[in-house]
Structure 1
Amino acid sequence: MERTNSRLQELIELYLQQSITEADKIELWGYVDDPVFEAEIKNSLSEAFYQVAPVELTALQQEQALNHIFQADNPVITSQEPQRQPKLKRLWTRIGVAATIAVVLGLGLYLYQQKTELSLADQVARSGIKTGGNKAFLTLANNKRIVLSESQSGIKLQDNKLSYSNGTSLSGINSADVGQEYTLSTPKGGTYQLVLPDGSKVWLNASSSIRFPAVFNGNRSVELSGEGYFEVAKDEKHSFVVNSRSQSVEVLGTHFNIQNYQNETTAKTTLLEGKVKVSLADNGLTRVLKPGEQAGVTGKQLKVYHVDIEDVVAWKEGYFNFNNETIAQIMAQLAMWYDVKIDFVDPPSEETFTGQISRTKSLAEVLDIIAKAKPVKFKIKGRTIEVSH
């Protein structure tokens, strides 16, 4: 086959892409051994080197690096061994080319790794991780499941009719679907609002659900799993009860927050205004809360604490509010909102972090903020965040 510059360039590109066959590699070394193509080879490899060389290298430094690689093309040959010069020339040319290719490939791989390690935004984009938002499902009495609109923020139940908060009808519901109770559920990374038949308002945090009747007959009662914030409509004649795994919370008219996830050992009820009574299902132990107090239920124990209300309801206002939170506590919240898994490569540090971050920010932005504040590193693989020191 006739040797041409275009064919040489094609072979070099195949080599740099690491897709060259053994036959093509033999052909490439034939070009390398041919002095006619020495200048063309150097020019092609120099261009490839400049394309992947780190920006930290100046033009002079890049030139010096190439000269160092190619200087073997001019070995010192003594007059006593003139007959070996052609052979040595070909050998050193081949070594010089191989060294340059190795540097080009090595720098390319290094820069690619640096890019993936340093650019959290690129990692998040490749993983397809989205910021949480309005996401929920409504399960009807006949177990029919309806995906609710993400462009809406909530639904309401009035006169036994379901609609979005702005009055728009829910699609997919007909007269045969109307039943005695419904369940509103949010996935990880989802939040939604609900107006109950009596006008009480509920905000559901991520990975939560509430079961509620189509009509309140007498006392008002709902079942909660996960976390919800309640603004209960006042009705002195009919109490309002929230049943939630091992406890019940009874109110007349008040604002309060309940956090009671299945994977957490302690259920927390926090009162913002009014008065509530927290009761344990197992032993009937009760405590009446005052505004600013939180009841913590662990097993058969019930304890009351004074807490910062702003920290408790930050999620409802669209914020992460970290107040002396450890990295493990922080990552648990991020896992819930961004629907990711957490893998601690090193034992999690007990250092604490305090700050407020909007939940509308991307995962990359939140991780960057944390990494700048604390000695912690993040790497994203799929939907898993690896955390290390």
Structure 2
Amino acid sequence: MQKSKTETLIQKYLSHQLNEQELEELKLWIEEDASHREIFVKLLSLHHVNNQLNLLHQFDKEASWKSIQHRCNRSHTIHRRIAIYSSAAAIAILIGITSILYFNGQKPVPAIAQNEQPQQSPLPKNTETPKATWVQANHSVVPLYENQREINGSHINNGEIIFPQESDSPHKPKLATELLQNKIIVPKGSEYAIVLADGTKVKMNADSHIDFPVQFGDTREVTLEGEAMFEVTHDEARPFIIKTHDHAIYVLGTTFNISAYPDEELSVTLIEGKLKVNAPSGEYYLLPGEHYSSAQSKVSKVDTEFYISWTEGAMEFDAMPFPLLIARLSRCYNVDIQIASKELETMKFTGVIFRNKPLDFALDIIHRVSDVKFEKKGETILVKKQ
């Protein structure tokens, strides 16, 4: 296919003027080479940005363009991620990779069928609503709020709890740490941060919990289920160990992300430093920019932003299976979303959703740019093929 012909087909696609034969030609060109798909996705994402400006009350075009230039210059290639930022708002775009969807010029319709739409909001900001729960060593349960006064020597502020630091009492006698275990539980629809006794920072994602001692001994060991970003304080004499699923991650001092939700693969992404993963299949050593996957039992080089973007208020996807996308939305917004059409289970998506936008906004974006629809049934949202 000649370049001029390709340009004509893309232009007609964007203006909704393709006939069936031309649409098939465009599909063949896109599937012919991975670079073709990347070019098409980039152009399509920019086109949808222009079409969806009416969804935003404020849009700083200059800041948005600078952001595009920054992200492109950083890699000097066309990223498969579709994300455009602005100082006032951000646009979420999801593109189905398994199929090329042709949109007619119909007027927008509600993302969720029926009049009964769920009233969702961004991450809880009401200080009267607990963002996490602290199960203390004596089994007492303490709700944790956005801002709170000191509790048992621990300071709480801006969604973060700082436990008494070892550096403040260097000569304090060691405790029987195996008998004095804390647990922080973060529910669906929330996030929370903690600073452990050794100064290690942990940012926890929704539907996650971590077990850790009141005070560390000769080793520093915690147990995680869910997802968390760690910034481990360096201490060569005491390795930091995270146990999750049937794995153990050994750290000296580094920054990394772990995702270990039940019924999902365990993944470890290293940002800086070094670490070792002990898995049933063997030992794996990670360098910065590398990612371990339990499903593939291997280490690979990745774009780490796909794995840590949630810590900055976004969820980025790169060819993510549709069921995993739905699971993340359910955790993020604390709502039950179920796939009702089996054919959707094989779809994959690339894109980004921003956590400061309500669920309706995210679902509306998915509905507009993909071949799915949402229906409310009681307290459940069903996802069906359009």
Aligned to 1:319: 314
Alpha-carbon offset, residue 227 of structure 1: 0.9
Give, in whole Å, the separation in 2 of the partners of 1:270 and 1:168.
Answer: 23
- Superposition RMSD in Å: 3.0
Aligned to 1:370: 366
Aligned to 2:134: 138
- Rg larger in 1 or in 2? 1
Aligned length: 256
Alpha-carbon offset, residue 388 of structure 1: 1.2
Aligned to 2:266: 267
Q: Deviations over 1:100-150 (max 9, x none)?
A: xxxxxxxxxxxxxxxxx83649957x5444433472100011221111113
**What amino acid is aligned across from residue 237 of structure 1 in structure 2?**
A
Alpha-carbon offset, residue 169 of structure 1: 9.3
Question: Are the equivalent residues in 1 in contact too, given 2:259–2:267 (CA < 8 A)?
Answer: yes
The yes-or-no answer on 1:352 pairing with 2:343 is no
Aligned to 2:181: 181
Aligned to 1:19: none
**What amino acid is aligned across from residue 161 of structure 1 in structure 2?**
G
Alpha-carbon offset, residue 327 of structure 1: 3.0
Alpha-carbon offset, residue 341 of structure 1: 1.9
Give, in whole Å, the separation in 1 of the partners of 2:332 and 2:290.
Answer: 26
Which blocks of at least 5 consecutive residues in structure 2 are unaligned?
Answer: 1-108, 126-130, 163-176
Question: Are the equivalent residues in 2 in contact too, given 1:192–1:205 (CA < 8 A)?
Answer: yes
Aligned to 2:283: 286
**What amino acid is aligned across from residue 143 of structure 1 in structure 2?**
H
Aligned to 2:5: none
Give, in whole Å, the separation in 1 of the partners of 2:195 and 2:115.
Answer: 39
The structure where helix makes up a greater share of residues is 1
The yes-or-no answer on 1:204 pairing with 2:204 is yes
Q: Deviations over 1:210-230 (max 9, x none)?
A: 111111122211111111110
**What amino acid is aligned across from residue 148 of structure 1 in structure 2?**
L
1:1-389 pair list within 5 angstroms = 118=110, 120=112, 127-133=118-124, 135-151=131-147, 161-165=153-157, 180-264=180-264, 266-280=265-279, 282=280, 285-298=282-295, 302-349=297-344, 350-389=346-385
The two structures have a TM-score, normalised by structure 2, of: 0.60
Which blocks of at least 5 consecutive residues in structure 1 are unaligned?
Answer: 1-116, 171-177
Give, in whole Å, the separation in 2 of the partners of 1:288 and 1:279.
Answer: 9
> Cα distance 1:209–1:323, how it changes in 2: closer, same or farther (>3 A)?
same
**What amino acid is aligned across from residue 309 of structure 2 in structure 1?**
A
Question: Are the equivalent residues in 2 in contact too, given 1:129–1:383 (CA < 8 A)?
Answer: no
Alpha-carbon offset, residue 181 of structure 1: 2.2
For 2:266, what is the secondary structure of its paired residue?
strand
Question: Are the equivalent residues in 2 in contact too, given 1:127–1:381 (CA < 8 A)?
Answer: no
**What amino acid is aligned across from residue 322 of structure 2 in structure 1?**
I
Give, in whole Å, the separation in 1 of the partners of 2:200 and 2:353.
Answer: 29
Specify which structure has the bigger relative contact order, considering alpha-carbon pairs within 8 angstroms and separated by 6 or more residues.
Answer: 2
